[in-house]
Amino acid sequence: MSIVPSRVLGLNGQTAPSNQLTRAILGCGGISNSHLGMPGKILALCDVDSNRLKGQMAKVQGRGNKDVKGYHDFRDVIARDDVDIIHTCTPPHWHAHMAIAAAKAGKAIWGEKPMSRTIGEGMA
């Protein structure tokens, strides 16, 4: 016989870990604030600016998520097997590049507009 916590089984109104979406947010500027409260657990934040990254890390940790990890290279985030959804909250010239990399890695993409800067990027 095994004893497991009720949260593992999704009892008492809790979501079982196997039924929870996992997310990563690329870009920690102002627009990323609107993505913090979306459903699912944030596993990773990424920004080239250390101060912005630290600020968003503090917000996510303040909401009870102590497991979030910070990154400076979006490719390291996309390479994580445990991330289901990639949010692109970066300047527009990065949107298509990051979305294509995420799609190739089998991730769902929650993108900010514009999705691309050119027709060619959009078709890729």
Name every residue whose Cβ is closer than 8 Å to that of residue 123 and which is 6 or more positions away in sequence.
none
Residues 6 or more apart whose Cβ sits within 8 Å of residue 22: 40, 41, 42, 43, 82, 83, 84, 85
Q: Which residue has the tokens 């990639």?
A: 86
Q: What mean pLDDT comes out for the span 49-55?
A: 98
pLDDT tens across 99-118, in order?
Answer: 999 999 999 999 888 877 88
The stretch 8-25 carries a mean pLDDT of 75
Domains present along the chain, CATH in parentheses: 19-46+54-123 (3.40.50.720)
Of 40 and 119, the one with more pLDDT: 40
pTM: 0.84
Distance CA 115, CA 86 (A): 13
CB 84 within 8 A of CB 23: yes
